[in-house]
Chain A
Amino acid sequence: MIPDNFSYLAPASLPEVWDALHEHPDDAKILAGGQSLIPLMKFRLANPAYLIDLRHVPDMDTLAERDGALVLGAMVREAALERSPLIQQRYPGIHDASAVVADPLVRNWATVGGNLAHADPANDHPAMMLALGARVVAQSPRGRRELSIDDFLVDTMETALQPDEVLVEIHVPQPAARSGSAYLKLERKVGDYAIAAVGVQLAFDGEVISHAGIGLTNVGPKAIRAQQAEAFLVGKQPSDETVREAARLAAQAADPTADLRGPVEYKRAIVRTLTARALRLAAQRATALA
């Protein structure tokens, strides 16, 4: 449980971060909350020679609505999301997700940027961000670019970030007037990664679903968008039958592997159950908000 030797760098600005990345192209790692990276280092599964801490870089913890989007700085801690009235009231799906990430100790450190950048299919935010249609902002000496969360998440622990890029912000479109989101997770015990989890967002036009987003956690090599289920829901009322069929389609989109969190069939079944429950909850929240 003792990591290999490493040097710790604490740059005070993004350009300094880039300099450090440039100087140590092969053996540096960005450190955010450290709650994924440090455990890997303690098991010596990751042995970076340099850690570049983002903690002292200014303006990385924005949490506000701006220009039609919720802007989350990459360094916003899970605990801040959990406690924010804005998140609680307007983005209940994100609130649900942050409240089930690990345990309170971890949440005091862990960041939403780290959660996405780590691209672990077991992390909770990627699927919720898929459901919400989030966009991420990456910045490098070459400039700033925005990409969809779908394009950002490439594979297991692999994102579209270039070696010189830092994830700086996440933009979540502001919810439509009649909409609701939810994130439901089944875990073996509190603090565990998901057996499976489902993030859902529904927007309504009258009684009819006008937009649906569904993301699945830990049932594939990366967070999965349940496209067929999303398409199926649009234009329908969330009747029991519709919800069941969408849940079935979402389960079909899952591609789990058997492990100590259960066999394949079970995980698929859980996606089905949680999708149905999350859809009902999101619909209920949409009605309550309207």
Chain B
Amino acid sequence: MTTETTPIRGMGHSVKRKEDPRFLRGKGRYVDDIKLPGMLYMDIVRSPYAHANITRIDASKALALPGVLAVITGKDLDEAGLAWMPTLMGDKQMVLPVDRVVYQAQEVAAVIATERYIAADAITLIEVEYEPLPPVMDPFKALEADSPLVRPDREQKTNHIWHWEAGDAAQTDAIFQQAEVVVKQDLYIPRIHVSSIETCGCVASFDSVEGKLTVYMTTQAPHAIRTVFSLVTGIAEHKIRIVSPDIGGGFGGKVPVYPGYVIASVASLKTGHPVKWIEDRSENLQADSFARDYHISAELAATKDGAMQALRVKTLADHGAFDAAANPSKFPAGLFSVITGSYTLKAAHVEVDGVYTNKPSGGVAYRCSFRVTEAVHTIERMVDTLAQQLGLDPADVRMKNFIQPEAFPYTSPTGWEYDSGNYPAALRKAMEKIDYAGLRQEQAEKRARGELMGIGISTFTEIVGAGPSHTFDILGIKMFDSCEIRVHPTGSVIARIGVQSQGQGHETTFAQIVAEELGLPVENITVEHGDTDTAPYGLGTYASRSTPTAGAATAVAARKIREKARKIAAHLLEANVDDLEWQDYKFQVKGSPGRSVGMKEIAFAAYTNFPSDVEAGLEAVDYYDPPNLTFPFGAYICVVDIDRGTGQVKIRRFVAVDDCGNIINPMIVDGQIHGGLTMGMAPALMEAITYDENGNMQQGTFMEYLLPTAMETPVWETDKTITPSPHHPFGAKGVGESATVGAPPAIANAVVDALSHLGVTHIDIPITPWKVYAILEAHGVAEL
């Protein structure tokens, strides 16, 4: 029980996460924990080939296995018009193939059985005959005239999907022609996988009496999925319920609709039983959507003294066999055009060409608001390349080119309006914290002794919180988000939100927002999400958008409640509404601090003693359409030591100064930064998905796909500056992805810095020990 003196603990409190007791005790309820009466199990036959015709599927042996109830193939789905489904990017995607597979591990057929084990045995009994076709693995070769077609189903007989550009080409070219200095660098940002610890899965349950389909699903965006499901299947939207229970990590990988969800739903319709489908680890790694995979060619024009002038970028985006990314409709290359970063430039021109290859679909916004990681890596590497070429300190070059605090709101050359920032302050803070000058001196001394140490900086700007309805939609649905708050008579609250937590701590932070706005203790506030039958419509959690959108909606809805409460308070205090002020979480009569009433009493009165001109109850809904995106930023400095006998890179120190505006819960922000930094280190040093020339994916287990563990993770040193967002109701910006976006270039820059005196100007990530060792050997500095 809470009492009158129970603290509110609203904004700025490190409230322990409400969700943790259940997670830490193993009481989380994930999709695989859901067991319904009569439930059947699904397993999937997958293609061993990256590209092949299917000439025959014989399921008779599988169907003869006791316990097998059905086998579903592309032909079956085709009859129902469900062999293909639309993607969020206006492309279409196979649910099950009718006659061709286009990537390795693609779904080919599904078995429905009474037991999970029987389903696993049955898939080995299905005979599929393939006629292998030459796979298209290299996106550059994919564009050559004689390349085989990945998608002959399309009208356009090319592997080219789309061309997209931003900025001013003519102005940019003109600056390059006059430029005193031009640096150029090709960068490859490799294909990586989100590898959430919970794989994807669902339990689809069709109630033939009600005619209602309920799908418990690992999705970051339940409402959008419901709409897509309704459009795909023709089932009325009120007859579809999507429930996202606890989710064991999403990171963008659980935004897309995977074939398994659709097949399981069809299977439930067909059998009349609930059907469970849970991927195993290898299926998840091999077949679910991927992130990154950008081949970038960047040029930066500058003056001799290091003033940046223009940026020109050409990019090939490997999207795999289907353009199934989950970007806002108008942004096939996401927000990649934020590539001018934290710097003033006169002009920029960015081009991206999307290409089909025989790989699973790419373009997942892996803990990165739509291609911002690729953008940040490029600009942060280019700044260092420029500094190196001019013999300048990379910190000085950054300071010289930063957008200055007084220049906000700042319109970038590609058209983004940055809301607020103070980049010099963040970098100065990071430099002081890590003793930058001292490190440079240490580095010089070490170099003289032949030891290799590097210092890398990344001063990134993020672009999150999609987004304003004038620009951002997914399949036409505007990217607002929502909150519905109900205050109960005794002063406790339920808040339902349109976004979906996958570890971000919404049950805690959103309760804190309500607590702050209504002056009720955080303990008394329940936050619910994820059930489309009860939660208000929203677009879901990804792209660091929850706080900028639904968080704002929560504050606004609470303020609507407060306005109504003001009238009830006036009634209770027998005062004029205009004479009341909201002070110390209470309404009090101006000038008479003794005469006040808190929200708990007001709530009771809202049901028992309300004025005659006011409706009973105390609730409100808000659908918040943000006026702009938010632009969190940070300054990261990384120190590495390199082992000259092995090429191993060891991160000795890493200071991360983040600015995400006003903070709801500092502990949760810190947690987001810690996790994000580790996820940023991973692709910088370890993770990458590669294919051999036959289209075999080479990292199909965690033995080969190298997720960092605590042992590889250095001690992260975090700090912050606070520059509120001027347009957000409580001045917050998103933060969930800053560190994933900002960390990789800090690490890459540090490694290049350690080797720069040898003439090294760039190393593509992941910076493996053998890449580094080859450089050491080539320059004769390897040592036993």
Contact = CB atoms under 8 A, between A and B. Distances in A.
A186 B646 contact: yes
A190 B711 contact: yes
B708 interface: yes
Contacts of A277: 645, 784
Interface string A22-60: 000000000000000000000010000000000000000
A272 interface: yes
B607 interface: no
A71 interface: no
Contacts of B704: 260
Given A247-B784, A266-B770, A269-B782, A1 B282 contact: yes
A200 to B, nearest CB: 14
Interface in A243-290: 243-244, 247, 260, 262-263, 265-266, 269-270, 272-273, 276-277
B401 interface: no
Nearest to A248: B784
A135 to B, nearest CB: 32
Contacts of B646: 186, 270, 273
B42 to A, nearest CB: 13
Contacts of B709: 189-191
A192 B784 contact: no
Interface string B700-734: 00011011110110000000000000000000000
B648 interface: yes
A188 interface: yes
Interface string B760-776: 00000000111001100
B120 A273 contact: no
B645 A273 contact: yes
A78 B704 CA distance: 23
B281 interface: yes
Contact of B121 (A4, A190, A269): A4
A190 B706 CA distance: 10
Interface string A167-194: 0000000000000000000101111110
Contact of A244 (B648, B706, B711, B784): B784
Contacts of B768: 188, 262
B777 A2 contact: no
Interface string A196-223: 0000000000000000000000000000
Contacts of A188: 686, 706, 768-769
A266 B121 contact: no
A5 interface: yes
Nearest to B645: A273
Nearest to A279: B784
A4 B120 CA distance: 8
A240 to B, nearest CB: 9
Contacts of A266: 647, 769-770, 773-774
B469 interface: no
A1 B116 CA distance: 11
B706 A189 contact: yes
B711 A269 contact: no
Tell me which of B282, B645, B647, B784 has the highest count of chain A C-beta atoms within 10 A of its own C-beta: B784
A12 to B, nearest CB: 29
B33 interface: no
B121 A5 contact: yes
Contacts of B698: 260
A276 B648 contact: no
Interface in B216-261: none
A263 B704 CA distance: 15
B445 interface: no
B526 interface: no
B773 A189 contact: no
A186 B121 contact: no
A66 B431 CA distance: 61
Contacts, number: 62
B614 to A, nearest CB: 60
B770 A273 contact: no
Interface string B739-781: 0000000000000000000000000000011100110010000
Greatest chain A CB density within 10 A among B120, B124, B646 is at B646
A2 B113 CA distance: 15
A189 B645 contact: no
Interface string B678-699: 0000000010001000000011
Interface size class of A (residues with CB under 8 A): 20 to 34
A263 B708 contact: no
Interface string A79-110: 00000000000000000000000000000000
A2 B120 contact: yes
B180 interface: no
A186 B648 contact: yes
B772 to A, nearest CB: 10
A273 B708 CA distance: 24
A270 B281 CA distance: 31
B679 to A, nearest CB: 14
B777 A269 contact: yes
B91 interface: no
A5 B770 CA distance: 42
B770 A262 contact: yes
B703 A190 contact: no
A1 B380 CA distance: 42
* Residue with the highest number of chain B CB atoms closer than 10 Å, among A4, A244, A269, A276: A269
Listed residue (A44, A190, A260, A263) with the most chain B CB atoms within 10 angstroms of its CB: A260
A237 B713 CA distance: 40
A44 B125 CA distance: 13
B784 A190 contact: no
Interface string B115-134: 01100110010000000000
B124 A44 contact: yes
B280 A1 contact: yes
Nearest to B774: A266
Contacts of A270: 646
Contact of B712 (A44, A190, A247, A273): A190
A2 B116 contact: yes
Contacts of A265: 774
Interface string B273-311: 000000011100000000000000000000000000000
A281 B688 CA distance: 34
Contacts of B769: 186, 188, 195, 262, 266
A227 B398 CA distance: 56
Interface string B96-126: 0000000000000000000011001100100
Contact of B784 (A2, A262, A272): A272
Nearest to B772: A266
Contacts of B120: 2
Most buried by B among A2, A4, A191, A272: A2
A265 B698 CA distance: 21
A2 B708 contact: no
A268 to B, nearest CB: 11
Q: Which residue of B116, B648, B773 has the most chain A CB atoms within 10 A of its CB atom?
A: B773
Given A266-B770, A273-B784, A189 B711 contact: yes
Nearest to B643: A273
A276 B121 contact: no
Contacts of A195: 769
Contacts of B699: 260
Interface of B: 116-117, 120-121, 124, 280-282, 645-648, 686, 690, 698-699, 703-704, 706-709, 711-712, 768-770, 773-774, 777, 782, 784
Given A269-B773, A273-B645, 10 more contacts: A1-B280, A2-B117, A189-B686, A189-B706, A189-B707, A189-B708, A190-B712, A262-B769, A266-B770, A273-B646
19 contacts: A2-B116, A2-B121, A4-B121, A5-B121, A188-B686, A188-B706, A191-B709, A192-B706, A243-B784, A244-B784, A247-B784, A260-B704, A262-B769, A265-B774, A273-B645, A273-B646, A273-B784, A276-B784, A277-B645
Interface of A: 1-2, 4-5, 44, 186, 188-193, 195, 243-244, 247, 260, 262-263, 265-266, 269-270, 272-273, 276-277
- Smallest CB-CB A-B distances: 4 pairs: A273-B645, A190-B711, A2-B120, A276-B784
